[in-house]
Amino acid sequence: MLSICILETDHLRPELVADFDGYGEMFKRLFEHQPVPARFEVFNVVEGHYPAPAQQFDAYLVTGSKADAFGDAPWIVQLRTYLLARYQAGDTLLGICFGHQLLALLLGGRCGRAPQGWGLGVHRYTLTAPQPWMTPGVDTFRLLVSHQDQVSQLPPGAQLLASSAFCPLAAYCLGDQVLCFQGHPEFVEDYAGTLMTLRRDQHEPTLYESAQASLASGHDGALIAQWMMQFVALRAAATV
């Protein structure tokens, strides 16, 4: 059974706590329904919680956050230091949204505010480089998104996996060690819609309405979660 460390990089807004779980629990629920068996432990790094030095995991997943990956808050600086040590130790790293951007930045890429503005609702991506762990295979996939930052340059040696006109660098891997997606496989439509409503004053009315309407189209979060677990499982098997 795989062991996954979930590095939770946010707290839910107070208005959401009564109806929704935090990002760590969202990922646990998502992954527990995938065919690859695993156990999970969540550490909220905003609060300074990390695994004990003796703890070992098959992968470390960095969640989304309302914070900027390029920010200099003390907890972000500490997280960068921790992740760089994990990377240098050869550990498997996974990143979603904020995590996707933070790992790109940490490993030599670039990220920042997207000139095209907020990405909201369900976005479709074209697969650019199919991999052996991407089963079942598809040509395109859809994910729920909520971001105003994007990766603008991949780290040296990274391979682009998925792209869209709105987000050209939507997913990438670095060998068999790092795998990242801009979209949110762990989100559900109710959460994404409620979050958009809470931020409605930040969005153009036409963008808000079209993003809310897109929630009815469905998304492929379960598929992406399966790919992520298969990515981890292949590397774990190869290093036994």
Known active-site residue 47: no
**pLDDT band at residue 234 under the 50/70/90 scheme:** very high
Known active-site residue 49: no
For 43-102, how does the pLDDT look when each residue is reduced to its tens digit (9 = 90+)?
Answer: 999 999 999 999 999 999 999 999 999 999 999 999 999 999 999 999 999 999 999 999
For 186-198, how does the pLDDT look when each residue is reduced to its tens digit (9 = 90+)?
Answer: 999 999 999 999 8
**pLDDT band at residue 42 under the 50/70/90 scheme:** very high
Among 100, 123, 147, 184, the one annotated catalytic: 184
Question: Which helix H or strand E contains 117, and what residues bound it?
Answer: none
Query: Domains of the chain: which residue ranges?
Result: 2-238
| Cβ within 8 Å of residue 225, ≥6 positions away | 30, 31, 33, 34, 185, 186
List of E strands, 59-133: 59-62, 93-96, 110-113, 119-127
CATH number of this structure's domain 2-238, picked from the four choices 3.30.1370.160, 3.30.360.10, 3.40.47.10, 3.40.50.880: 3.40.50.880
How much is the pLDDT for 102? 98
pLDDT at 32 over 70: yes
Query: How much is the pTM?
Result: 0.96
Known active-site residue 123: no
More confident position, 72 or 238: 72
Among 97, 111, 173, 180, the one annotated catalytic: 97
